[in-house]
């Protein structure tokens, strides 16, 4: 099915050549990753990424546009290849409405390190410290009424998130020698009850240098599972992977007071399994909020954010609250060298954190070399300290055309 959809989107774009203006772009990248504290390699991949963008109708007054992105990955050691369809959509312009269909990414969050309102797309968590949004098939209607805009989505097909490798996951206490575990993956079926839908309302006001106010609502199923274990014998258990229904309500604000300063805040409240929205059951509600400031000076940008996480616990354990600080400094030195350093510190459980330095150098037009590392600190029982043995580095050579 995946290969059929890729071929269908590419063939449709090729057939439109006579009627559409098209732009071909892409990149070829070679990546090598390694763990600093072990001889294991984190990634040995070569990636070819191709993209076709085009307009439908006359270039000056287009009736719509489309985009198709296909990625091919190769492990040069094992010769294993994978083919994936990225964004692949068609958009039709109808007055103040934009109607789009196909594989899309919907980004409603306004903050930089944590994204409470980005609930439409599942996340590729295979490298959990640097997650990537996964495009999903959906229908989208965007209305632009001047200072007010509305973005509505409907997703008929549920898509699972890409989960991390075993070394990034906590140890299962039931996974002991001689103990048999049977997993039952209860994935949502294709029916009306599992159609996800939601929207984001935005208002832009002429206050100071600009004020944006937003509100989010979304209803769907989680793309990551909740494990429910049932002991079936002295040395056996069944673990059911369930994907809970989720209702999300959120709000965001971006204010530009001037002098290169940008203020942002974003909050999202989530309830699970159709529990009461205001008086939820135990372990069925959470609240995440991000507030921060961004300051630009010359070619450098400094971002500071505070993250508040609250999860309603069960009766015995009580609620769980986390406080996290984020600092990101990035900028260009000359026309070829770019630097970025990000730090995250979680104040929970005596503290833990992550530091991510990154350097990118442009060798020639379209050709760049980058190096990034992820280092962790804290006790092995803490959020980031549990990954201390997973300190990883990556180097990549990329050519874009």
Q: Which of 255, 261, 257, 249 is nearest to 286 (CA)?
A: 249
In this predicted structure, the answer to whether residue 286 has a pLDDT above a threshold of 60 is yes
Q: Comparing 159-173, 241-255, 281-295, which segment has the lowest mean pLDDT?
A: 159-173
DSSP 4: H
**What is the Cα–Cα distance from 250 to 271, expressed in whole angstroms?**
12
**What is the Cα–Cα distance from 296 to 358, expressed in whole angstroms?**
19
Which pLDDT score, from 0 to 100, does residue 318 have? 86
In this predicted structure, the answer to whether residue 18 has a pLDDT above a threshold of 50 is no
Cβ–Cβ under 8 Å, residues 81 and 47: no
Task: Please list, in sequence order, all residues whose beta carbon lies within 8 angstroms of the beta carbon of residue 316, skipping any fewer than 6 positions away.
Answer: none
For residues 26-35, one letter each, b for 16 or more C-beta atoms within 10 angstroms of the residue's C-beta and e for the rest, the string is ebbbebbbbe
Average pLDDT for residues 367-372, to the nearest whole number? 98
Q: What is the DSSP string of 92-137?
A: EEETTEEEEEEEE-------SS--TT--SS-EE-SSTTS-EEPPEE
Q: Comparing 29-33, 96-100, 208-212, 235-239, which segment has the lowest mean pLDDT?
A: 235-239
Residue 8's pLDDT band (boundaries 50, 70, 90)? Answer: very low
Which pLDDT score, from 0 to 100, does residue 21 have? 57
**What is the Cα–Cα distance from 120 to 115, expressed in whole angstroms?**
11
Average pLDDT for residues 355-369, to the nearest whole number? 97
**What is the Cα–Cα distance from 283 to 311, expressed in whole angstroms?**
7
Going from N- to C-terminal start, the domains of the chain cover 105-259
In this predicted structure, the answer to whether residue 218 has a pLDDT above a threshold of 70 is yes
Which pLDDT score, from 0 to 100, does residue 265 have? 98
Average pLDDT for residues 19-31, to the nearest whole number? 82
Cβ–Cβ under 8 Å, residues 226 and 246: no
In this predicted structure, the answer to whether residue 203 has a pLDDT above a threshold of 70 is yes
Burial level of 9, CB count in 10 A (0-12/13-18/19+)? buried
Cβ–Cβ under 8 Å, residues 239 and 266: no
Average pLDDT for residues 316-337, to the nearest whole number? 94
Which pLDDT score, from 0 to 100, does residue 15 have? 46
317 or 189, which is more confident: 189
Pairing of strands 261-272, 148-155: unpaired
In this predicted structure, the answer to whether residue 165 has a pLDDT above a threshold of 90 is no
Q: Which of 371, 379, 390, 329 is nearest to 353 (CA)?
A: 379
Which pLDDT score, from 0 to 100, does residue 320 have? 92
In this predicted structure, the answer to whether residue 7 has a pLDDT above a threshold of 80 is no
Average pLDDT for residues 12-26, to the nearest whole number? 61
**What is the Cα–Cα distance from 220 to 197, expressed in whole angstroms?**
7
In this predicted structure, the answer to whether residue 11 has a pLDDT above a threshold of 60 is no
Q: What is the DSSP string of 295-320?
A: EEETTEEEEEEEEEEEE---TTT--E
**What is the Cα–Cα distance from 262 to 157, expressed in whole angstroms?**
37
Which pLDDT score, from 0 to 100, does residue 140 have? 98
Which residues are paired to 18 by β-bridges?
A: none
In this predicted structure, the answer to whether residue 154 has a pLDDT above a threshold of 90 is yes
Q: Comparing 77-86, 155-164, 256-265, which segment has the lowest mean pLDDT?
A: 77-86
């Amino acid at each position: 099915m995946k290969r059929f959809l890729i071929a269908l989107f590419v063939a449709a774009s090729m057939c439109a050549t006579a009627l559409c203006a098209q732009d071909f772009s892409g990149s070829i990248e070679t990546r090598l990753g390694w763990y600093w504290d072990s001889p294991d390699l984190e990634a040995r991949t070569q990636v070819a990424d191709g993209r076709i963008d085009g307009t439908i109708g006359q270039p000056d007054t287009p009736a719509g546009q489309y985009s198709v992105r296909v990625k091919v990955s190769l492990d040069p050691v094992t010769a294993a290849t994978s083919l994936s369809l990225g964004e692949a959509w068609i958009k039709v312009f109808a007055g103040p409405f934009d109607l789009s269909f196909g594989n899309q990414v919907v980004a409603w969050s306004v903050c930089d390190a944590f994204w409470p309102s980005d609930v439409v797309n599942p996340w590729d968590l295979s490298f959990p410290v640097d997650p990537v949004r996964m495009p999903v098939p959906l229908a989208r209607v965007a209305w632009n009424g001047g200072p007010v805009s509305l973005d509505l989505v409907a997703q008929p097909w549920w898509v699972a998130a890409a989960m991390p490798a075993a070394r990034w996951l906590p140890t299962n206490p039931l996974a002991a020698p001689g103990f048999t575990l049977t997993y039952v993956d209860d994935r949502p079926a294709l029916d009306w009850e599992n159609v996800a839908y939601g929207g984001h309302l935005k208002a832009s006001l002429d206050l100071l240098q600009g004020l944006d106010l937003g509100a989010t609502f979304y209803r769907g199923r989680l793309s990551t599972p909740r494990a429910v274990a049932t002991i079936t014998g002295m040395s056996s258990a069944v673990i059911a992977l369930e994907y809970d229904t989720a209702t999300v309500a959120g709000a965001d604000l971006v204010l530009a007071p001037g002098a290169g300063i940008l203020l942002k805040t974003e909050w999202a409240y989530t309830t699970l399994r159709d529990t009461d929205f205001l008086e939820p059951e135990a372990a069925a509600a959470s609240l995440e909020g991000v507030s921060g400031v961004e300051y630009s000076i010359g070619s450098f940008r400094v971002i500071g954010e505070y993250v508040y996480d609250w999860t309603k616990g069960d009766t015995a354990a009580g609620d769980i609250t986390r406080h996290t600080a984020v600092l990101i400094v990035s900028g260009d030195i000359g026309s070829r060298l770019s630097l970025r350093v990000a730090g995250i510190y979680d104040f929970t459980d005596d503290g833990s954190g992550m530091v991510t330095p990154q350097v990118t150098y442009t060798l020639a037009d379209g050709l760049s070399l980058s190096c990034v590392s992820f280092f962790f600190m804290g006790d092995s029982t803490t959020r980031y300290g549990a990954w201390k043995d997973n300190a990883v580095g990556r180097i990549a050579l990329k050519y874009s055309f």
